Structure 1
Amino acid sequence: MFSLQVLLLVLVLSLPVDSSFSFSFGSRGSRNRNYDFSGPDLTKLYNSGVYKAEKVVRPLGNLKDTYGPISHSGVRVTREDGSQFLIHKGDGYGVSSQTVVVKADHMSSAWKTVSSKDFNGGKTVADFVKAAGETYDICSANCHHAADDMMNQ
């Protein structure tokens, strides 16, 4: 007999994943990612202070609502200048890390804030990425684990 956790895991694995950043498949099946920052601009972003962090969640795939772990979560950070970025993790999201940082402008209206915390510049964007971790594992290092770890640092 299957446990509820195994049943949920099977359901999650069978759902299509909708990422919040844009990429497309090239002619050879490789992903062409659109980057907002690179080089010195990316270094500046990663070293910038986070003043507010919000744990956000959205429905998974084509679902209309979130159902506990059957959802996707991340953290939207706000810097001193008011600019916002979504930090989230997913299987195949990144190249050298499965945790990615994208402009919050790329977020759909399906994302909802579930909690927030003031950091007053005491943590950097890089601290959040590090807290989320590089690797993805559906059971032990998924988007929900990453969002919780980022908010609890």
Structure 2
Amino acid sequence: MSFKTALGLLLLAVLAIVSESSSGKSTFINFSDLKKLYNSKVYMAERFARPLDGMPFQIGILSHSGVSDSTDGSKWLIHKGDDYGKSSQTVVVDGHHMSNNWKLKEQKDFGGSKTVSDFVKAGGAEYKLLFDNCHNAANWMMND
């Protein structure tokens, strides 16, 4: 394994592949599955938006955005937020944890030309409310 791949795996591992289930218990992914996820090809990506936590509606930027990727039959939500992760604010969680509040905004067929790691990198490590937020990250993921 190259240094670049190992560094990417470490970054993804620290990202919050830990997701919260509805019971409040954490779900962890093992290293072998993490490596497989990191290198998984993305076929279909969908940009979603949902209301901000505590709000019953969404209007433009008063919402939260993320991208759901399909990789070999699995769905993963890649999204960004302030204090979402440790070494990166762009995190990956199991798509099964998406509520029905997420509304589809855009679909794009990548035909396996990109990997989950490409989407995480496109989302960026830092979060800044004005110019490096969840909406920017979702757009970068869909357009890179």
Whether TM-score is above 0.5 comes out as yes
Normalised by the shorter chain, which TM-score bucket?
0.7 to 0.9
Higher relative contact order (CA 8 A, sep 6+): 2
Q: Which runs of 5+ in 2 are unaligned?
A: 1-18
The superposition leaves residues 26-64 of structure 1 with CA deviations (integer Å, 9 ceiling, x where unpaired) of xxxxxx983441312111101000000000000001211
Shift in CA distance, 64/36, structure 1 to aligned 2, threshold 3 Å? same
Match of 2:48 in 1: 56
Match of 2:85 in 1: 94
Aligned length: 124
What is the TM-score when the length of structure 1 is the normalising length? 0.77
Equivalent runs, 1:15-54 vs 2, <5 Å: 21-22=19-20, 34-54=26-46
Q: Cα distance, 1:22 vs. partner?
A: 2.0
What is the Cα-based RMSD across aligned positions, in Å?
1.7
The superposition leaves residues 94-151 of structure 1 with CA deviations (integer Å, 9 ceiling, x where unpaired) of 1111010011001111001100000010000000000000010101110000000000
Q: Which runs of 5+ in 1 are unaligned?
A: 1-20, 24-31
Shift in CA distance, 138/22, structure 1 to aligned 2, threshold 3 Å? same
What is the TM-score when the length of structure 2 is the normalising length? 0.81
The superposition leaves residues 58-105 of structure 1 with CA deviations (integer Å, 9 ceiling, x where unpaired) of 0001211111000000000001x2210000000110111101001100
Contact 1:36 1:102 survives alignment (8 Å):
no
The structure with the larger Rg is: 1
Q: Partners in 2 of 1:140 and 1:37 — Cα distance?
A: 31
